[in-house]
Amino acid sequence: MTKVPFNKPYLTGKEAHYIYQAVYSGKISGNGIFTKKCQEFFENRYGFKKSLLTTSCTDALEMCAILAEIQPGDEVIVPSYTFVSTALAFVRQGAKIVFADSCPDNPNIDASHIEELITPNTKAIVPVHYAGVACDMDPIMDLARKYNLLVIEDAAQAIDSYYKGRPLGSIGHLAAFSFHETKNIISGEGGMLAINEERFIRRAEIIWEKGTNRAEFFRGEVNKYGWVDTGSSFLPSEVIAAFLWAQLENLENIQQRRRELWNRYNDVFSAVVLPRITLPNIPSYATNNAHMYYLICQSLEQRTELIKKLKEKGILAVFHYLSLHSSEYYRDKHDGRVLSNADHFAECLVRLPMFYELTNDEVDEIAHLVSG
């Protein structure tokens, strides 16, 4: 078998063409024709009230933290098994992070244990849709209404995935997406803020444009623009948006192929007896956007051996997050609760190669090596 990387960015063939158009349009600094086309695509397809492209999902989360008016002393509930940006965006605003455990049978936040973490200082809940599979959003939204909290969906991996028929990113008050090269739809680096409540839209545009009302000025709504709020340079260039547009035009094709690969992995593994390995669990309320195919080993040692075995055959399989509550930066700030499910996934989850150009034969060979 030839070497199989963990990821290979897929190019549709139109990226360079659209980048050429953007460069020679004379408008490459951002918020030009390709930015508008991408944002309208998301609003029309998924029903977001407003979408704003950003330079990364991290930036989109930082915008969420500003919009939520997070202050020092506020508490934000975040799953421990997630990427650092999920927590860092709120730490930068002075929040105390209250880490939640994962479900016993999948890495998402365990909605049944969130209420016990809520205090008078709680300001927001940040569910992360791991592997593009929905968290159980109804009880989370019920808690938000009961305690007057904001829900900010970290939908970094969740493009084109659904919860009970509703697009992920459209359920909470705000949401953040990623178009990093490892995601289904990519722009190298890039992200998006999705806004689902009108009350956040005007301020979001100001924060997006470095704290100015520049967007209103260019729409002719004000006769001059200036510094009116906090913010930063969250707006990406037209080059990034042009690349992204080529991907969005091919969303259906990309998603179809990824689902074929995911299903092939799952069908092969389901037909054999795997040695002490658990397959992904997709709850009945969730769809699968085929962002990732992962396996759960029974121990760190077993996972280490499996990764080594595949690497010796030229196949790059990788683990994922380390539990944030036990990270070097935050462990002294954590309240001491044991989050055993998050730790289990941190030690035992392994991700297999998953990208558009992966072949069926390669999937079969990887599955054979895992089960052999």
Q: How confident is the model at residue 372 (pLDDT cuts 50, 70, 90)?
A: confident
CA distance 121 to 56: 29
Instruction: Tokens for 269, please give them.
Output: 């593994």
CATH 3.90.1150.10 maps onto the chain at 251-371
Q: In the prediction, which pLDDT does 10 show? A: 97
The answer to whether 258 and 290 are in contact (CB under 8 A) is yes
CATH architecture of the domain 251-371 equals Alpha-Beta Complex (3.90)
**Angular region, 210: left φ>0, alpha ψ -120 to 50, beta rest:** left
Which residues have a catalytic role annotated?
A: 183
Q: In the prediction, which pLDDT does 37 show? A: 98
Query: Over the stretch 168-205, which tens digit does the pLDDT of each residue have?
Result: 999 999 999 999 999 999 999 999 999 999 999 999 99
Residue 262 has pLDDT above 70, yes or no: yes
Please give the average per-residue pLDDT across 15-40, as a whole number.
95
Question: DSSP string spanning 58-106?
Answer: HHHHHHHHHHTT--TT-EEEEESSS-HHHHHHHHTTTPEEEEEPBPSSS
CA distance 300 to 262: 24
Residue 110 has pLDDT above 80, yes or no: yes
Say which residue, 327 or 272, is predicted with more confidence: 327
**One-letter identity of residue 366:** I
Residue 224 has pLDDT above 80, yes or no: no
Please give the average per-residue pLDDT across 129-144, as a whole number.
98
The maximal CA–CA distance of the chain, rounded, in angstroms, is 70
CATH 3.40.640.10 maps onto the chain at 15-248
CA distance 288 to 85: 23
> What predicted TM-score, i.e. pTM, was given to this entire model?
0.96
Q: What is the mean pLDDT of the chain?
A: 96
The answer to whether 53 and 35 are in contact (CB under 8 A) is yes
Instruction: Tokens for 251, please give them.
Output: 């969303």
CA distance 289 to 327: 29
Q: How many helices (H) and strands (E) does the chain have?
A: 12, 12
Query: Over the stretch 303-327, which tens digit does the pLDDT of each residue have?
Result: 999 999 999 999 999 999 999 999 9
The answer to whether 42 and 192 are in contact (CB under 8 A) is yes
Say which residue, 225 or 17, is predicted with more confidence: 17
The answer to whether 241 and 53 are in contact (CB under 8 A) is yes
Q: Which of 365, 318, 319 is nearest to 344 (CA)?
A: 319
DSSP 313: T
Please give the average per-residue pLDDT across 208-215, as a whole number.
88
Query: Over the stretch 58-83, which tens digit does the pLDDT of each residue have?
Result: 999 999 999 999 999 999 999 999 99
Query: Over the stretch 117-128, which tens digit does the pLDDT of each residue have?
Result: 999 999 999 999
CA distance 30 to 178: 18
Q: In the prediction, which pLDDT does 1 show? A: 55
Residue 361 has pLDDT above 90, yes or no: yes
Assess if CATH 3.40.640.10 describes domain 15-248.
Answer: yes
Q: In the prediction, which pLDDT does 188 show? A: 95
Ranking 159-168, 176-185, 213-222, 362-371 by mean pLDDT, the lowest is 213-222
